[in-house]
Amino acid sequence: MIKNDLFIRALKGETVDRPPVWMMRQAGRYLPEFMALKQKYDFFTRCRTPELASDITVQPIDIIGPDAAILFSDILVIPQAMQIEVEMKDGIGPWLPNPIRSQAHVDQVIVPDIDEELGYVMDAIKMTKEKLNDRVPLIGFAGSPWTILCYAVQGQGSKNFDKAKEFCFTQPEAAHQLLQKITDTTIAYLKKKVAAGVNAVQVFDSWGGMLSPVDYQEFSWKYIQQIVTALKEETEVIVFGKGCWFALQEMANSGASALGVDWTCSARNARYLTGGKITLQGNFDPSRLLSPPSDIKSMVKQMIDEFGKDRYIANLGHGILPNIPVDNARAFVDAVKEYKMG
């Protein structure tokens, strides 16, 4: 049904002529077409208006040509739906005026009815599917419970999420209750996304690497595993843990279809830790897209040679940066499409 199903085939571990490619945060600020809409509508208006969200989702497909689309939205619509106030401030990023710091506040956090609070996401998915017209698969996503807790407790982005960690380490019971509420909401949300038409889901554990390997098990992995277990029969699940190479072995046995890796972990190490049995996704340094296009092309070829063309999805090791020239992003995608072995 989907004309270009390379991405799904790679997730299922099938043999392919070349790996599929997409870029994390591919809908965004490096595209002039996105900036034009950003001038007119604030961030959450773009997320909440299916017409806008679906247009933004399709922009990179038309302009750059990756093998999968990712729905334009944000991981922070989940805390919003749980009645935690979230704003997006220019120059600052996410801003939560009432960060969670106590058991009493955790008690107030609700597990919402998804259709009531996040029906606009499902509408955006349906509209995007129409605009994509089965050209490429559509990816849905959510943040990991730990990464959502980071924002809910810290109240904004941070270099070390010290307040989030302090909350977990001084009030572990309250922290675990909050993580479980986020997990329950996320599972219901992702199931609705699958029902609305997404072809795969990715869990972004952007701040998992802030935790030690032991704390990672307790405060992050335990909850991601619940999500994977709940979703794996219904769709392909990708887990991307930034800085979480230490957990790859466990992740490989979780039931996920693929694991994302960042650029600090070599292909060889990632393959070794995962026993060569699971699809890996990554791991081009996003800053390397600032290199001249000819350098990007040779580095992409080398990256694919190292991961191998099968059980592999070419991607960046984290989101694309706003200062990347469009031609360089296109060179990245083209290099994967032109890949030949040898």
* Residues engaged in binding ligand CP3 (CB under 6 A): 24-29, 38, 43, 70, 72-76, 88, 93-94, 141, 143, 157, 204, 206, 319
Q: Which lies closer to ligand CP3 via its Cβ, residue 190 or residue 309?
A: 190
Nearest to residue 74, comparing CAs of 88, 85, 60? 88
Q: How far is the CB of 225 from ligand CP3 (least distance, A)?
A: 19
- For ligand CP3, which is the closer residue by CB, 30 or 312? 30
CB of 305 to ligand CP3, least distance (A): 26
Nearest-approach distance from CB 128 to ligand CP3, in angstroms: 11
* C-alpha span between 280 and 265 (Å, rounded): 12
Q: Round to whole Å and give the CA distance between 299 and 335.
A: 9
Q: In this complex, which beta carbon is closest to ligand CP3, that of residue 228 or of residue 271?
A: 228
If the CB atoms of residues 154 and 309 are measured against ligand CP3, the closer one turns out to be 154
CB of 114 to ligand CP3, least distance (A): 18
φ/ψ bin of 285: left (φ > 0), alpha (ψ from -120 to 50), beta (otherwise): beta
- Cα separation of 33 and 60, whole Å? 9
Closer residue to ligand CP3, CB minimum distance, 147 or 254: 147
Which C-beta is closer to ligand CP3: that of 54 or that of 309? Answer: 54
Angle in degrees, 0-180, between the axes of helices 32-40 and 50-63, rounded to the nearest 10: 160
The 138-143 sheet, strands edge to edge: 69-70, 138-143, 200-205, 236-241, 258-261, 279-284, 312-316
Pairing status of strand 69-70 against strand 87-89: unpaired
Using the minimum distance from each CB to ligand CP3, give the nearer residue, 309 or 314: 314
Q: Tokens 């890796």, residue?
A: 261
Angle between helices 222-231 and 172-196 (to 10 degrees): 20
Residues in the chain: 342
Give the tokens for residue 192: 């609705």
**Contact yes or no for 11/257 (Cβ under 8 A):** yes
Minimum distance from residue 15 beta carbon to ligand CP3 (Å): 28
Shortest Cβ 314–ligand CP3 spacing (Å) = 15
For residue 209, the minimal CB distance to ligand CP3 (Å) is: 11
